[in-house]
Amino acid sequence: MKLDARKLGTAVVLVALAAGSWWLARLTTEPEPVWDGKQRHDPDLIVEDVESVVMTATGEPQYEMHAARLVHYGDDGSTEIEQPYFVEHSSGRAATHARARHGFVPNGTPYIQLTGDVHVAQGRDPGSAGGDLRTQELIFKLDRPR
């Protein structure tokens, strides 16, 4: 059997294709997940009948939160809230009240997502006529303490 340029070229192309296929398979294959329990979405904190108040620098209440249940998950830092009720206090204005069936707070954000029969109400004061809002979903941002 003679080794000529055509057979050598074919062999080089086949070896290059095999190496490219092996490299592509390794690049696109996801590693098998390790089941060590760290991927579980189990709560690390459960609190019933929650009442929390955030105060301003002058000692006045800025926010109040009441909830039937609060569940925090350590794997992603998120928090689920059952029957949340928030009150925002502002000097010179009537308080704003917000309630819903469920609340969700993603990790590291000041945003709260309320879902299920959301009701937001603000009373009448000298600066505004007040208002009433009803919806199924609402995302709001809590300001940092003043």
CATH number of the domain where residue 71 is located: 2.60.450.10
pLDDT confidence bin for 78, thresholds 50/70/90: very high
In terms of C-beta distances under 8 Å and separation of at least 24 residues, what long-range contacts does 59-64 make, across chains too?
Answer: 60/89, 60/91, 61/89, 62/88, 62/89, 62/143, 62/145, 62/146, 63/87, 63/88, 63/89, 63/142, 64/89
What is the pTM for the complete model shown? 0.68
Query: Given this model, what pLDDT does residue 13 score?
Result: 83
Q: Do residue 69 and residue 1 come from a single domain?
A: no
Residue 133 has pLDDT above 80, yes or no: yes
**Claim to verify: residue 2 and residue 48 sit in the same structural domain:** no
Its domain, for residue 77, covers 43-141
What is the structure's pLDDT at 87?
92
**Same-domain check for residues 129 and 92:** yes
How confident is the model at residue 6, as a pLDDT?
A: 78
pLDDT at 1: 54
Please tell me whether residues 121 and 69 are part of one structural domain: yes
- The residue-averaged pLDDT of 44-51 equals 93
38 found inside a domain? no
